[in-house]
Amino acid sequence: MAISDSTEQTSGGRLARAWRHVVGPVTAKDGFYRHRALVRLTHWINALCILFLLGSGLNIFNAHPRLYWGMTGADADPAFFSLGAMDTPAGPRGFTQIGPWHFDTTGVLGWSQVDGEFQARGWPHWLTIPYFQDLADARHWHFLFAWVLAINGLAYLVYSLWIRHLQKDIWPTRADIRAIPRSVLDHIKLRHPTGEAARRYNVLQKLAYLGVILAITLMVLTGLTLSPGFNAIFPWTLDLFGGRQSARAIHFICATLIVLFVFVHVVEVILAGPINEVRSMLTGWYRVPKDHD
């Protein structure tokens, strides 16, 4: 759509220009090529994997909604985290236990409705894949996307190291580390970088990306440590994570951290300008926000 210069001065023209600034194509004049094709592709495949792995993982968790520390653990052993249902004079209630604390979470955690009927289940149907409780089916989804995640993640890591994306763009510099307090302040004030500074990731952003790469790596390793076949191949991972049940707990804790990352990530995308941010992850081109005068 072409807009002639003569309309640029009218108020409608200003609106059109502002609109074009948001959705119009980005060029080397007002932006730069921020994300390469393979980084974009692996980003979205990873997002899909995380969605399916989380949903199926919560369904798997429901088969035994208790976490232990150490090599072993079953119903007779103390759990540091559990979801469950119990009978009370007021009827069945759902509870969430964290260490010594118990919370009544009826309707959401421990005791919730599926297809119009209440049942004892850890996570509610609207969080699990499939929505109905079935360990065998959930495992099928989990292993399918575990393979995709591992291959996709490996492709990203090898490529990013090869083109020095990890080293140049994500690994924090000495100056970055010194700038942590200022960056924290910027984030608290929801102040986003403009101009030259917007061409680089800020230090908290770098640390968050490194953190999520580490968390996903730990997910893969702790997940494999749950496999008795893999244990016979690489028994040292059992020792690395302090036992099979500890590995299961770390698997769950890393999943929680990844959920936290996704939440902050999406909030930041919305605050920083969702169209510009999402477009850059689709086309690669990022429009640099202008300096405030």
Partner 1 sequence: MASAKDITRRTAIVAGFGGAGWLIANANGLTVSPSFAKVFQTVEDWTKTAQRGLLHPQRLAREYSPADISAYFKPNGTFDPGTDDYNRHAAGHFANWRLQIDGLVDHPLSLSVADLRRLPRRTQITRHDCVEGWSAIGMWTGVPLSLLLKAAALKPNARYAVFHCADNLTGEPSKGGEQSPGQYYESVDLTDAFHPQTILAYALNGKPLDVPHGAPLRLRVERQLGYKQAKYIERIEITDSFSRIAGGRGGYWEDRGYEWYAGI
Instruction: Check residue 233 for interaction with partner 1 (CB under 8 A).
Output: yes
Interatomic CA distance for residues 124 and 55, integer angstroms: 10
Residue 80 in contact with partner 1, rule: CB under 8 A: no
241 token code pair:
């994570």
**Which lies closer to partner 1 via its Cβ, residue 35 or residue 206?**
35
Whole-number minimum distance, CB 119 to partner 1, in Å?
8
| 201 near partner 1, judged by CB under 8 A | no
Instruction: Verify binding: residue 144, partner 1, rule CB under 8 A.
Output: yes
- For partner 1, the closer of residues 46 and 215 by Cβ is 46
| 96-to-107, 121, 144, 146, 225 alpha-carbon distances in Å | 12, 11, 30, 28, 26
Binding window for partner 1 (CB under 8 A); candidates: 65-73, 80-88, 102-110, 263-271: 65-73
Binders of partner 1 among residues 213 to 232 (CB under 8 A) are: 226-232
**43 or 187: CB nearest partner 1:** 43
Distance between CA 162 and CA 76 in Å, rounded? 50
Which of 25, 195 has the CB closer to partner 1?
25
Tell whether residue 136 is a contact of partner 1 (CB under 8 A): yes
Residue (131 or 209) nearer to partner 1, CB: 131
Distance CA 193, CA 183 (A): 10
Q: Which stretch binds partner 1 (CB under 8 A): 3-11, 27-35, 45-53, 205-213?
A: 45-53
Q: Is 244 in the site for partner 1 (CB under 8 A)?
A: yes
For partner 1, which stretch binds (CB under 8 A), given 10-18, 129-137, 169-177, 262-270?
129-137
Q: Using alpha carbons only, how large is the chain's radius of gyration in Å?
A: 24
Q: Rounded CA gap, 20 and 2, in Å?
A: 10
Q: Binding of partner 1 at residue 235 (CB under 8 A)?
A: yes
Choose, by CB under 8 A, the member of 5, 11, 18, 75 that binds partner 1. 75
Residue appearing with tokens 């409608």: 12
Residue 119: name the closest of 98, 97, 92, 142 by CA. 92
For residues 252 and 61, is the Cβ–Cβ distance under 8 A? yes
Distances (CA, A) of 68 to 24, 77, 127: 53, 8, 23
Nearest to 193 by CA among 210, 207, 179, 174: 179
Q: Which of 239, 290, 212 is nearest to 46 (CA)?
A: 212
CB atoms under 10 Å from CB of 210, counted, come to 14
Establish if 137 lies at the interface with partner 1 (CB under 8 A): yes
By CB under 8 A, the count of residues binding partner 1 is: 48
For partner 1, the binding residue among 58, 60, 250, 254 (CB under 8 A) is 60
Report the Cα–Cα distance between both ends of the chain, in Å, rounded: 30
Interface positions with partner 1 (CB under 8 A): 44, 48, 51-52, 55, 60-61, 63-64, 66, 68, 71-76, 119, 129-137, 139-141, 143-144, 147, 226-233, 235, 238, 244-245, 248, 282-283
